[in-house]
A and B are shown apart, each in its own frame.
Chain A
Amino acid sequence: MNRLFRIARMGLWLGATIFGGVAAAYPRVRQHSAELGNLAPEEVDGLYALAVVMPGPSFLNLWGAVSARVGGLAGALVGEVALLTPAFLLVLALPLVAQVPWIGAHTAGAVSGATYATAGLLLATGLEGLRKDKGLLLTGLTLAALFAGVHPVLLLILVLGWGAR
């Protein structure tokens, strides 16, 4: 029960604070995986790779896979429901909030503010990654390939193959 409670609490925290999808979530999940159970960061790397190549929302897949490792099927269910809850409540509440005249007139500004804040959060996560990771050359090459239009999933498969040599 304690384990499921920890999964739910962390799922809610991730669901309420991570903007930008699975790429933004991965460093946080990796960082906090040890708090949940006996889960090594390398195992989270593997779960990330599998979550991205599986069908379905990658962030949900990653957190569900981590939760399943710690709490089995019940853990996966609790973790995924907790992860989705903040967004579920917000998408129901925000259209009601937008009915307030002043807020309704400034919706475009609010969406712009949220978009640039998400870009800022992603940028900060990337900068933290650059400071911690050792593979600067790989990061640079991957970035160039993404700007050249290579699909992220295909690129992940290619870099995993390169790493396995």
Chain B
Amino acid sequence: MTLTRLFFLVVSLTSVAFGGGSVIMTGLERELVGGGWITPAQFAAGVALGQSTPGPLAAFTTAIGNYTLGLAGAAVATAGLLVVSLGAVMLIRVVPADWFRHPRVRGALAVVPPYVTALVLFLALRMLITGTAARPLLPALITIGVVVGRLKKVPTPALMIGAVVMGMALQGAW
């Protein structure tokens, strides 16, 4: 695997990734694990790492780039994401601001906040349902603690660090 090949692999996968990173994830696994460039354990660690850090969920691409070709691999994989996204942004930029104020468009866009609320609740519930089957006490404790902390305006990094330390200290106990 070369840096150029990794860059174009990320660009080609990201260009056809609509509404989620599953296309990128599946394609990277096929090419990098299937090609013997990284082990399945490194791939799984990269996905877990990318998804438990803040920012775009596609950061797993950076983590997998790091496992494949070190710091340069991480940089090249991230640049691949950036190039595709900037292309998309340039297309979005063509849409004039007046368009959003058209009555029909405003009517359509009024549904976006309730839609996103449903999507956020769905993601949270799905994470809890799939992760809590065997030992529900620790997930419940962390989740309720974070919800209360967030509603009381505790800074997000403090909540995340507290949850990580709690998970490390209590994993296996509860």
Task: List residues of A whose CB falls within 8 A of some B CB.
Answer: 14-24, 26-27, 30, 40, 42-43, 45-61, 64-65, 67-69, 73, 76-77, 80-81, 83-84, 86-88, 90-92, 94-95, 103, 106, 108-130, 132-136, 138-143, 146-147, 151-153, 155-156, 159-165
B68, CB-defined interface residue at 8 Å: no
**0/1 interface trace, chain B 78-111, chain A, CB 8 Å (1 if under):** 1001101111111111010101110011111111
What chain B residues lie within 8 Å of A117 (beta carbons)? Answer: 142-143, 146, 159-160, 162-164
Query: Which chain A residues lie closer than 8 Å to B78 at the CB level?
Result: 84, 88
- 20 examples of A-B residue contacts, CB within 8 angstroms: A17-B156, A19-B156, A30-B113, A43-B100, A48-B116, A55-B14, A65-B89, A81-B82, A83-B56, A84-B56, A87-B50, A110-B52, A112-B139, A113-B164, A120-B147, A121-B159, A122-B123, A123-B143, A155-B115, A163-B109
Contact of B82 among A30, A80, A106, A113 (CB under 8 A): A80
Per a CB cutoff under 8 Å, which of A42, A43, A108, A130 touches B117?
Answer: A130
Task: Say yes or no: is B128 at the interface (Cβ < 8 Å to chain A).
Answer: yes
Q: Are B156 and A121 in contact (CB under 8 A)?
A: yes
- CB 8 Å contact bits of B113-148 with A (1 = contact, 0 = none): 111111111111101100100000011001111110
Contacts of B21 in A (CB 8 A): 57
The number of residues on chain B lying at the interface, defined by a beta carbon within 8 Å of a beta carbon of chain A, is: 96
Q: A138-B111, A138-B114 are in contact. Are A118 and B52 (CB under 8 A)?
A: yes
**Is B16 among interface residues, defined by CB-CB distance under 8 A?**
yes
Across the interface, do A65 and B92 meet the contact criterion of CB distance under 8 Å?
yes
- The A interface, classified by DSSP as helix, strand, loop or mixed, is helix
B92 close to A50 (CB less than 8 A): yes
Interface of chain B, helix or strand or loop or mixed?
Answer: helix
Asked if A76 and B164 sit within 8 Å, CB to CB, the answer is no
Task: List residues of chain B with CB within 8 A of the CB of A139.
Answer: 114-115, 117-118, 121
List B contacts of A127 (CB < 8 A): 147, 151
CB of B146 within 8 A of CB of A116, answer: yes
Query: What residues of A have a CB within 8 angstroms of the CB of B157 in the complex?
Result: 16-17
Partner of B88, one of A51, A103, A141: A51
Knowing A84-B59, A130-B117, the reply to whether A164 touches B108 (Cβ < 8 A) is: yes
Take A23-B123, A160-B111 as given contacts and tell me if A116 and B131 are in contact as well, using a CB distance cutoff of 8 Å.
yes
Report the bound CA distance from A161 to B110 in whole Å: 11
> Is A64 a contact partner of B167 (Cβ separation < 8 A)?
no
Q: Is the CB of B57 within 8 A of A109?
A: no
Interface centre among B48, B55, B151, B165 (most CB of A within 10 A): B55
List residues of chain A with CB within 8 A of the CB of B101.
42
